[in-house]
Amino acid sequence: MQITGFELIGTEQGLDPTVLPHLGWAPAVVPGGVHESLLAAGRIASPYWDRQEEDARWIEDRDWWFRASFAASQPAGHGERARLVFHGLDTVVDIWLNGSLLGHHENMFRPAEFDVTDRLEAGNELLLRFSPPLEGLEMSGAAVRMAERLAKASSAAGAEDGGGESTLTAIMPFASQRRKAAFSWGWDFGPRLPSIGIWRPVELLVEREAVVIGHHIRTDALQADGSALVNVLIEVDRFATEEALTARVELTAPSGLVTTVELPVENGIARGTVIVREVELWWSHDLGTPTLYEVRIVLLDGETVLHHIGDRVGLRTIALDRGEDPEGGRRFRFVLNGTPIFARGAAWLPADMLVGSVAAERYRELVGLARDAGMNMLRVWGGGIYEQDAFYQACDELGVLVWQDFMFACIDYPSDDPVLLREVELEAKYQVTRLRNRASLAIWAGNNEVQVFHGLAYGNYEPGSWGYDFFYRVLPNAVAAHDGAVPYWPGSPWGEDPSEGVLAANGVLDGDRHAWEVWHGLELGAGGGPYASVGESRHYRRYANDRGKFISEFGIHASPELSTLRRWLPEEALEVHSPSFDQHNKDNPKDKHDAVLEIVTGIPQTIEHYVDRTMISQAEGLKFGVEHYRRRQPHCSGTLVWQFNDVWPGFSWSVVDHDLVPKASYHYLSRAYVPVLTSFRVQDGALQLWVTNSGRTMACGTAVVTLATFAGREELRETIAFELEPGQSQAVWSGADLPLTVDRYAWAESPDGLFPSNRLFFGEIKELPLGTGSLDVVAEATGPATARLTITASGFAYFVHVLTPARGVRFSDNYVDLRDGDRVVIDVSGLPEGYDPAQLSVNDYPGDRRDSALPGRPTSGHCAEGNERQKRS
């Protein structure tokens, strides 16, 4: 039974609880938290609107009490027990049942469970007190030293804001001692808004004699005859029976084929290997079907059913290939069902600052967007949360692999502290057990960037009280003991090639790396330089130096679309670097992008230009990076863009904004992440066409390459036939002595639709002779909320895009380039009912065209309404 109907109240600390009944309680959002409850009650305004974020700061300093009453008949029957399970409490909490203390808990990443068999009455009162999440913590001397060293080291590595006070130096030295999501204290992509409250369901479980407390359906091997060896483990807690028990396990394939096994329970465990014939494997969506089997587990005492549970699991093997790489160093390559893959994806952040109330539909939509962009892996970043079940369910069903960090990020953790150590042990066991049946789970990584930060500060990775014991003993042991199949990796990034010294953790010869040479302009192991200007040192061209084996972070900022900004900033703040604008950008300095924009597009002055130009810089940069890394397949075997989504409506590296509106980069990535990619590169003055096959089958086709001037003169046309093995990437054509000048472009297309068209320019975007053509747009309604746009270009049109009139509008394609006479058909869905598609506005870059006719741009009436709503909420 789920316990609902909670109420809450906030008080000063140290309040005498006997006065509580006389105070004014308000309904609480559970699962959810304090902020959500106060928002629903109209007691605080949206912290995301304008500069209201600081108005919510007081919440983290109060005590917050939650109460609920529930009826229960005391377990009367012989052999019954009752347990209260709090699946997620955020974070420092004392719990009372019927006036007596049940216990204290301070880890949001593992449940609090209590046997209440002898404490239940007919009517029960549950009371919880959440104390301020940082209460009682003192900054440790080690943390102070770390912060000082880091400030020095990061300015030496080229960080412009090195030495300034940040979450990392001011708060994490406290917060790292307590198991709460690190990002909630503010990060370089989000505000300080620490969630507090009951963030996962509360259940009362009445159990009889024995229950299944864990299960693991693990695919150990795939056999030549089309069957799979599946290891089945059932963990049983028998608390009131001495009888011989058995566990019956049934696996039902989509075809209807059932595999059944019955296993005796001995010492709390039933284990056995079963052969699943005609196995229907789980594949990532790009390589096959993410098939799931229905699982039913029944615990039996003779013929009597004591307990039963259900699940859905995928059968697949996953491994990490770290074999020798012929170009030097070691591979870092995932192998799914025996097939080496190129991981194409992004880093996943919590879907909102307020992690307890993210709807399952939001997870489904976000993961669906990732899948639709061709992504086959999302990395759950270590400064956030172990995600909600709805996230993993979406990944399992939609065929998206998960790189799972343990929740540690960017700073030393005092791993010698026995209380923290105990919490980490329990948390690791719980989370590994919780996620081990997820077909999507591809790897566990110890943390985000703890080793690199420690290495920067101290110059070594010697054992010590900085998390060493967690990342090299506790966490790998938990993965080995409770999973035993999914690989463990000590951190993201991590690498251990001795020739790279302290930079090995982020080196190019081994392991994964975070490529923050671009954007942050740091010197982190990929080499290159010296650079003529700050802009050059952060320019996306630097990706081309990177010979890393797996790039688990690389990113560039871009503004959300103007319609999103209008929903969260007041009209007068819609100016580049207005105080509200800058407050929605948490990276420092606020004009960091300018040095690169100056080179790529020119520095934008208006908000419209800011949106377009930052989107161009991000989209072109990520395209450039992904193409470079994919050409290097199989030496490089993965690109995970930083970052997929946003925790609030801000300026960040995300490719989908907080209103779930995709940025231009999302559409560029969709084209760069297709299984068969063609890309151009200029090598020693020659123009090369590359084909990269990341599919499971041969890629056989033709590519038509043209070289033309923007004015429309075609100077070269060649048809190239190619045949590539799965996993192969190679130049299939090269043209020497061609005039590769800024007034020309190269174009590749597939006559049979095997790959999307691609192009290469020979200068920065701002240098190209663009903007002389025109677009013809035909818009037709295809249903009450859908439309089709047919756009035809006269002259070359760059960055042609349709703007979204409302949240939730989806385009089958967007931000495309069209040559003279090219036509694109864009299907639009999710329009507001009855929306006239003729109102959709179509623009390109430089975009001045749109300043004349703007029928479909979000009208001020529409946005003003939205703004009013935000202000009121």
**Least Å from the CB of residue 168 to ligand BMA:** 9
Nearer to ligand BMA, 132 or 191 (CB): 191
- Rounded to a whole number of angstroms, the minimum distance from the CB of residue 449 to ligand BMA is 5
Instruction: State which of residues 7, 135, 188, 598 lies at the interface with ligand BMA (CB under 6 A).
Output: 188
Say if residues 319 and 485 touch (Cβ distance below 8 Å).
Answer: no
Contact 29, 79 (CB under 8 A): no
- Work out how close the CB of 427 gets to ligand BMA at its nearest, in angstroms, rounded to a whole number: 20
550 binds ligand BMA (CB under 6 A): no
Contact 134, 174 (CB under 8 A): yes
Tracing tokens 């693990």 back to the chain, one arrives at 218
Nearer to ligand BMA, 407 or 573 (CB): 407
Name which of 448 and 585 has its Cβ closer to ligand BMA.
Answer: 448
Task: Give helix 360-372 / helix 389-398 axis angle, nearest 10°.
Answer: 30
Nearer to ligand BMA, 585 or 693 (CB): 585
**Residue carrying the six token digits 């999973």:** 483
| DSSP category for residue 259 | E
User: Judged by CB under 6 A, does residue 553 bind ligand BMA?
Assistant: yes
| Pick 331 or 514: Cβ nearer ligand BMA | 514
546 belongs to the binding site for ligand BMA (CB under 6 A): no
Minimum CB distance to ligand BMA, residue 248 (Å): 45
**For residue 67, what are its two tokens?**
């109460």
Residue of 66, 109, 189, 651 that binds ligand BMA (CB under 6 A) = 189
On whether the CB atoms of residues 756 and 740 are closer than 8 A, the answer is no
CB closer to ligand BMA out of 555 and 837: 555
Of 348, 413, 387, 390, nearest to 179 (Cα)? 413
List 409's β-bridge partners, or say none.
448
Q: How many helices (H) and strands (E) in the chain?
A: 17, 45
Closest contact distance (angstroms) between CB of 553 and ligand BMA is 5
Nearer to ligand BMA, 449 or 561 (CB): 449
CB-neighbour burial class of residue 811 (10 A; exposed 0-12, middle 13-18, buried 19+): buried
- Among positions 50, 94, 286, 449, the unique one binding ligand BMA when judged by CB under 6 A: 449
Helices 450-458 + 141-156 axis angle, to 10: 80
448 touches ligand BMA by CB under 6 A? yes
The only residue of 200, 371, 436, 514 in contact with ligand BMA, by rule CB under 6 A? 514
With respect to ligand BMA, which residue has the nearer C-beta, 491 or 773? 491
Pairing of strands 228-238, 269-276: antiparallel
Cβ-contact 801, 664 below 8 angstroms: yes
What is the nearest approach in angstroms of ligand BMA to the Cβ of residue 514? 5
What is the DSSP track for 308-362?
EEEEEE----EEEE-PBPTTSSB--EEEETTEE--EEEEEE--SSSSGGG--HHH
Within positions 608 to 647, which residues make up the interface with ligand BMA, using CB under 6 A? 642
- Separation between Cα atoms, residue 39 and residue 62, nearest integer Å: 16
Pick the piece of the chain touching ligand BMA (CB under 6 A) from 184-192, 282-290, 435-443, 771-779.
Answer: 184-192
Phi and psi torsions of 123, nearest 5°? -115, 135
Does 410 bind ligand BMA (CB under 6 A)? Our answer is: yes
Structure-block tokens of residue 657: 């904004």
User: Binding residues for ligand BMA, how many (CB under 6 A)?
Assistant: 10
**Please, what is the minimum distance in Å from the beta carbon of residue 48 to ligand BMA?**
18
Which two tokens mark 788? 């089709």
**Contact positions with ligand BMA (CB under 6 A) in 579-608:** none
Distance from C-alpha of 336 to C-alpha of 314, rounded to nearest angstrom = 12
Is the Cβ of residue 518 or residue 611 nearer to ligand BMA in the bound state? 518
Considering the complex, what minimum distance in angstroms separates the CB of residue 856 from ligand BMA?
Answer: 34
What's the CA gap between 149 and 460, in Å, rounded? 13
Longest dimension (CA), the chain: 90
What minimum distance in Å lies between the beta carbon of 379 and ligand BMA?
10
Q: Which listed range, 23-31, 56-64, 186-194, 460-468, lies at the site for ligand BMA (CB under 6 A)?
A: 186-194
Rule CB under 6 A: which residues touch ligand BMA?
Answer: 187-189, 383, 410, 448-449, 514, 553, 642
